[in-house]
Amino acid sequence: TAHGFDRIFAHGMLTMGITGQALVAVFGPEGLDRYAADFLKPVWPGDTLTAELEVTAINADGSVEVDISTTDQHGTQVLRGTAAGRLAGE
């Protein structure tokens, strides 16, 4: 077992990629400039993830900064991060 876990869990980059789908929906495929995340808890097969984005800054150049929180179906935060870019269509 990996690090004492007795079952398979999702790689953190999979969680980051799933969360990234929400960012692409907001920024578009070309608009995302920066994305950083911390993995807080394991994600297990069958978990349902929800990503929430909160705008923290709108910069003079038109770029937007967001805080990211991804939770599982129990409301447990599994990922937190930040991102920046230009909104799709801007």
pLDDT tens profile 3-26: 677 888 999 999 999 999 999 999
Where is pLDDT greater, at 2 or 11? 11
CA-CA distances (angstroms) from residue 69 to 3, 22, 53? 25, 11, 7
Q: Tell me whether strands 50-58 and 77-85 are parallel, antiparallel or unpaired.
A: unpaired
44-64: buried (b, 16+ CB within 10 Å) or exposed (e) per residue? eeebebebebeeeeeeeeebb
Instruction: Flag whether pLDDT at 54 surpasses 90.
Output: yes
Residue ranges of domains in the chain, CATH in brackets: 2-85 (3.10.129.10)
